[in-house]
Amino acid sequence: MMELLGAINLDSYMGDWYEMARKPAFFQNNCKSSKATYIIEYKDGKPVIKVINSCIKNNGKTSSIEGKAIIKSGRALSVKFSIFMNIFNKPNYEIIFIDIEYKVAIIGSPDKKYLWILSREILPRDKTIFLLDIAKERGFDISDIIFDEY
């Protein structure tokens, strides 16, 4: 699995991703079968990414939230899901790893509090662990990782 270096190709990154694993996050309590969908839109000629995150809650119902992401630089994004979140549009998410085929990605926050392992298809556990090891090499604590269920 070779890593793509430099800025990402937004068109290749768009589409559906399955969440394979994550660090605990209050906004994903009781979530399984989590997915992220990215859709590129243009506002005043600049790319804005529509983000739709969804999961199945313990009660069997689908929960989803929609937000927007703005590219701040190469792989750094300013993401917000409400007008009260990230009001200064600082980079709060980063694509820290993506393979050259855009099939797997590691997304994290600059403070290393949040981490997601994403894939275009359901991965076997050993491949997810391989990606978690990359995140660990990049400074993330992976001792509290939650593996998603599909």
What does the pLDDT profile of the chain (150 residues) look like in tens digits? 777 777 788 899 999 999 999 999 988 999 999 999 999 998 888 888 999 999 999 899 999 999 998 888 878 878 877 666 555 567 788 999 999 999 999 999 999 999 999 999 999 999 999 999 999 999 999 999 999 998
Q: How far apart are the first and last CA of the chain?
A: 23
Q: What is the pTM of this model?
A: 0.89
Other Cβ atoms within 10 Å of 109 Cβ, number: 18
CATH code of the domain made up of 10-147: 2.40.128.20
Question: In degrees rounded to 5, what are phi and psi of residue 31?
Answer: -100, 140
* CA–CA separation, 41 and 57 (whole Å): 29
Q: Domains of the chain: which residue ranges?
A: 10-147
DSSP structural state of residue 128:
H
* CA–CA separation, 124 and 5 (whole Å): 25
